[in-house]
Structure 1
């Protein structure tokens, strides 16, 4: 099969590699659609921390936002799975450690991550092998575009829910990228008044076109909750300074440098701060939200390309004819 292989910083190629074989408890999926995300870009540039921690290494196969159809099953897997449209959890726990037993498999002591850590090749390929226990079925109303947006949507759903915001609440979202826009969409669906803060004029114009209030400077409060979906090291402290007393801070963005906050302000403001790592606990709810049209993530996708164009996208090139959205998708079956 054809697969996109990252061989070093800024170096990649599409290779013919052996097709995966489903082992015990696994399935092989024919991949329909894959999302490219910021983590993939960090692997492409060589900046991803996992590379320097020895958790990930080149050559590697990226792709953790995906959907497809089950093509084969391994020993111990019900053959009725074949033909089922699915997406899958990026985070795969061992199922036996204390964290897994307590329902927190996404922070498993022996965590594996599809397309991120060594050992589980990603979905930027024609086929993918994953544990059957990581799968989530997709209803017919969730097409390939929505299906490949379930993983980022799960992160955003969790962040929006962590604000506990609803009608009469005002929420500021820092960062109008894919996650920030999806967080805003889930918050808006919950009835909250949402504002997006960013610096890039084109990103803000796109967000405004989706119906969100936007600004390039911090708007006047009060802010009952603030979600930091940016990669700016100074914004976590700004969020703490601007949130209402007894409000909530949700941190889902990661900066390349430490982001200090003054815990005295946290305590004296009686502020709740929540960190969101993974989509895992939010995948099922996101699928339901997409299926019921509570949130429609499709406008975020600027273009869909084939495997041969992935390196250019990771390098920051926007394909000809791309729309204004922040997300790019890949159809591994597309040639040329």
Structure 2
């Protein structure tokens, strides 16, 4: 099979590799679609913290936002999975520690993260082997594009749920990238009055095309009471700004990760009686995300600006935006798409 492999910082190959064989407890999936995200970019550039912490190493195969169809099952796996359309949880816990026992495998200290942390190759290939326990079934109304958006969507849904407590609450989201826009979509579906703050007019214009009306750059942000503020950016200074902007008694949600440590003033946190929530992983919200996509209450497909083959992944990771691509922030990969 063909697979995209990062061999070193900014070095890559599309390789011909043996097809995976399902080990006990595993399935092999024919991959239909894979999303490219900021984590993959950091693995490509060499900036990813896991590389420096010894938690992953080159050569590596990224790809943790995926959808496909089960092609084979290993020993001990129900044959009913065969032919089923699925996506999979990125976070693969050890299954035995106290966190896994409490259903928090995404926080397992010994976890693998498919294509990100540990030895498991990711889904940027024609096939991928994953534990059957990580699978989530996709209904017929959830196509491959939506299926590959379930993982980022689950992160965003958790952020929206942490931010929105009641209908009509005013929620400000910092950073209209993929996660920020997904969070805005879920917050809107929960009844929030959604505002977005972005650094560029083009990103705000795209948010406007999705039906969001309250769009601001920082220097024009109105003096309004925000019941919750979600930092979905990678800007080092915005976590502290989020705390400054939120109403006393409100909530700040941190889902964006800056490349360098950011700071907040905990005196402000205490004196404003603010609740701060951090979000790591889609795991607890994958089923709810798939259900929202299935019933049409959230449709993030406009976020995908282009779908490319494996041969174009390196250029995408290096920052290429191809002529003719749409205005959205997300690129998808079809591993079976052959370059012409």
What range is the shorter-chain TM-score in?
over 0.9
**CA displacement 1:139-191 (0-9 Å, x = unmatched):** 00000010000000000000000113332200000000000000000011111
Q: CA deviation at 1:79?
A: 1.0
Q: CA deviation at 1:103?
A: 1.4
1:326 aligns with 2:329: yes
Matches of 2:174 and 2:314, distance apart in 1: 28
The residue number in structure 2 matching 1:289 is: 292
The residue number in structure 1 matching 2:93 is: 93
Could you list the structure 1 runs, at least 4 aligned residues long, displaced by more than 2 angstroms after superposition.
none
Any conservation in 2 of the 1:233–1:255 contact (CA below 8 Å)? yes
1:220 aligns with 2:223: yes
Q: CA deviation at 1:262?
A: 1.0
Any conservation in 1 of the 2:22–2:72 contact (CA below 8 Å)? yes
Matches of 2:173 and 2:72, distance apart in 1: 42
Q: Residues 172-191 of structure 1 correspond to what in structure 2 (within 5 A)?
A: 172-191=172-191
Matches of 2:104 and 2:295, distance apart in 1: 27
1:272 aligns with 2:289: no
Q: CA deviation at 1:220?
A: 2.0
Q: Residues 118-137 of structure 1 correspond to what in structure 2 (within 5 A)?
A: 118-137=118-137
Aligned residues: 336
Q: CA deviation at 1:242?
A: 1.1
Gaps of 5+ in 1: none
Gaps of 5+ in 2: none
The residue number in structure 2 matching 1:202 is: 202
CA RMSD of aligned residues (A): 0.8
Any conservation in 1 of the 2:141–2:294 contact (CA below 8 Å)? yes
Q: CA deviation at 1:137?
A: 0.3
Matches of 2:118 and 2:101, distance apart in 1: 24
1:317 to 316, 320, 331: 320
